[in-house]
Structure 1
């Protein structure tokens, strides 16, 4: 693995903790997880994408808005060791005029040191190193 790929993987993983969010908006099957369309989730995605574009992609892109937000699926097996996961989907309106598909995953209790939630997101066509697999597979 090249050094650039390691840095990108580390940067995208490190900055996605949502532990600063105090109150969960939605609870499903015993796990407290923010809703797909929670304002703090959408603003975190937009801010994190700007940072990633500025430091990694260097294309001058930004997300102007995220529309048509809906849950894609939820996963919670019901055992005490299971991690509640909420998979979400929407359309990202970019500053270059294009609309791109965006997927994100909210994991309950998986923030830094197990505090808060974790958020991973992927925008179709903007994951050149396939950090989230081909076609954003790991967050679909």
Structure 2
């Protein structure tokens, strides 16, 4: 009896395969870009001076310093943000906005911060993502040398 049920289930699944392969949807089966597979317009994500973007840089820096280096240093003020490059999306890459700003750290130092804002880099590919590098504080050399790896090419 169990064998008959199992064979019937397999037969039903196999009959669904052609129907699933033909279900292409609005953009020919390309569900990658959230209802905009052709990416007709430019990316309208946040700009470099967006308060949420700058707050995310400050928050991530504080988390990293607390979790790994335990120095107690934080970004007191992030100011003078400016866009240094913008690359709109293509079928192979996500849109990226490269930015530079100045920061006053809690230890009294003034440093340059380079960061990017990328499309589709948020949780599960929705929203935007932010990553940063602070000149002179890239202790693990993640973007070495001198934050060059986070700069646009």
TM class by shorter-chain length? Answer: 0.7 to 0.9
1:122 aligns with 2:146: no
From the two aligned structures, give the one with the greater strand fraction.
1
* Residue 69 of structure 2, aligned match among 50, 53, 57: 57
Cα RMSD after superposing both structures: 1.4
1:9-41 deviation line (CA, Å, top 9, x unaligned)? xxxxxxxxxxxxxxxxxxxx6113211010001
Residues 74, 87 of structure 1: 8 Å contact kept: yes
Residue 45 (structure 2) pairs with residue 33 (structure 1): yes
1:87-126 alpha-carbon deviations (Å, 9 max, x no partner): 0001110011110010001111122221111111011111
Question: Given the two structures, how large is their TM-score scaled by the length of structure 2?
Answer: 0.68
Using the alignment, how far apart are the partners of 1:32 and 1:116 within structure 2? 11
Aligned length: 111
Q: How does 1:106-117 map to 2 (within 5 A)?
A: 106-117=117-128
Taking structure 1 as the reference length, the TM-score comes to 0.74
Higher relative contact order, structure no. (Cα contacts within 8 Å, ≥ 6 residues apart): 1
Q: Is the contact between residue 32 and residue 108 of structure 1 (CA under 8 Å) also seen in structure 2?
A: no
Bigger Cα Rg: 2
Unaligned ranges ≥5, structure 1: 1-28
Gap regions ≥5 residues in structure 2: 1-40
Partner of 1:12: none
Inter-partner Cα distance in structure 2 for 1:139 and 1:79: 19
State the partner residue of 1:16: none
